[in-house]
Amino acid sequence: MKETDKLPDKPLSVWPLGITYEIFVQSFYDSNGDRIGDFNGLTQKLDYLADLGVEAVWLMPIMPSPSYHKYDVTNYIEVHEDYGTLQEFKNFVEKAHERDIKVIIDLVINHTGIGHPWFVKARQKDPIYRDYYIWSDLDSVAEQINKKEVTGDSDNILQWHALDEDPEGEHYYGFFWGGMPDLNFDNPKVREEIYQIGKYWLSEIDVDGFRLDAAKHIYPEERATDNHNFWKEFRSEMQQVKEDVYLIGEVWAPTEVSAPFTQGLPALFNFDLAYSIIGSLKNERSVSAVIAGSSWELEEGVTLIEGLIRNEAAFRRQNPDFINATFLSNHDQNRIGSMLGGHQEKIKIAASILFTLPGSPYIYYGEEIGMLGQKPDPYIREPFLWDIKKEDSGRTTWQRPSYSTDTTLMPLQQQKKDDNSIYAHYKKLIALRRNSEILTLGDISEIVTESMGLLAYRRSYHNESLLVIHNLTDTAITYPVEGNSYEVIMSAPETIKLDKDGVVIPGYASIVVK
């Protein structure tokens, strides 16, 4: 291993621009043999995460819920018994902090579960809790449908749900489904409840921040300003407890819609960039992508880097300190490995792109070993493969995997022995980034090449710069490099060399040059 492939004693990257690792606790590591991942399992694997080089973990929902995914919360100040006790979670947070790893948890406040005591009392017409949710009778719902004025992001009657399965009676609003009734944030008591919940996790449990689920839907889409103002107020309230609280929002929308949210949410996930990376690798052209409705499409005539620069500029106009949270895939999307057809070299180059672009990179658990998965959702959240099955005492078995199995994927322990594995590639890239102020903090400018098959850009910081080139095709391409004052910082494969005529970049290869 080269010296630059090792993690620095003191990283040059600066949180929150460091690397975050998203974990579905249920699928990560089972410490007690009950088939389900747990907090003690997370604690046991902290050394693995520290060695990998991540600087924070984001945990998908950990609060009590009747669903495996736990996005329909029934108690905001407890943890799910399948995962362990609150004390075991506090121990995990403490041990993570000892390793300089931050802990971010999913906070699901757009809606509760129907089993939450607030909703149980609301459906009984309790005078306090009734107004915690949004209600309408059937005639009003029908009238709104007819006038296309239904509250919410669409005029779909399926977002209104009959109470007690009485189609002629009262309905409550639930944007996502009937098991998740939306909270009424016009009620100041609801807002205060939510603020106290956030403060509890920050002060009593010492988490470092929150990933805010469905941040776009606190108020209906036509009340965008109310949404923006709510998140500004939420952040202000959280800063009363922890000044440096980290908030990252899920706002899945075009740039012009999502940018104003950064007034209160200083970090947002960059969905456009994720799709651009995938589209570029699938098409083997350095193209950009935009969200179109609920899907996405390639943006003709715009390169990936041009799209990224436009996107960042729009966000920084709203918040100069905006944090661009970059990723390849997450728990709501088909895994990057499957989207690239399991192509090992394309999976590697996707990581090479992610870790050499600006922003704060996120790794979805298992991406570092090339895990596969396609919807429905349980199959993009399959168990992590630590070792071959007969040796893997901590592998969770809450569901039988269809994509990431011993026959489709080399488990972690085997990849650790292979210098050409996806895991080895991730380790190399993470160390590269953590050793580089330029890659962590630097600006980006596009380099236009004669071939759309090359993705090339310059990263610059304090009068120093790096040249980054990725070959998105399966054919070697020569890139001319003038002069002789160049040093290869990283190449994959390592055999790429510079000479007086430039550099020949093999198919699906990357090089970083100082």
List residues with catalytic annotation. 213, 250
- Contact between 231 and 264 (Cβ < 8 Å): yes
Asked whether the beta carbons of 58 and 104 are under 8 A apart, the reply is yes
Q: Are 471 and 509 in contact (CB under 8 A)?
A: yes
| CA–CA gap between residue 406 and residue 400 (Å, rounded) | 12
Tell me the DSSP string of 3-65. GGGSPPSS-SS-TTSS-EEEE-HHHH--SSSSSS--HHHHHHTHHHHHHHT-SEEEEPP-S--
* Residue that the structure tokens 């719902």 belong to: 141
The H-or-E segment that residue 215 falls in is none
Q: How many Cβ atoms are within 10 Å of 117's Cβ, its own excluded? A: 12
CA distance 150 to 369: 45
Q: How many CA atoms lie within 13 A of 344 on its CB side?
A: 13
CA distances, 137 to each of 32, 165, 167, 178 (Å):
49, 13, 10, 16
Q: Write the CB contacts of 227 (distance below 8 Å, at least 6 apart in sequence).
A: 215, 216, 218, 219, 261
Cβ-based neighbours of 17, under 8 Å, separated by 6 or more = 323, 359, 360, 440, 441
CB-based burial label for 256 (10 Å; 0-12, 13-18, 19+)? exposed
Contact between 165 and 159 (Cβ < 8 Å): no
Instruction: Give phi and psi for 446, each to the nearest 5.
Output: -80, 145
Two tokens, residue 35 = 């088939």
φ, ψ dihedrals at 200, nearest 5°: -60, -50
d(CA 255, CA 314) in angstroms, rounded, equals: 7
Residue count (the chain): 514
Stretch (H or E) spanning 464 = strand 464-471
Could you tell me if 274 and 293 are in contact, meaning their C-beta atoms sit under 8 angstroms apart?
no
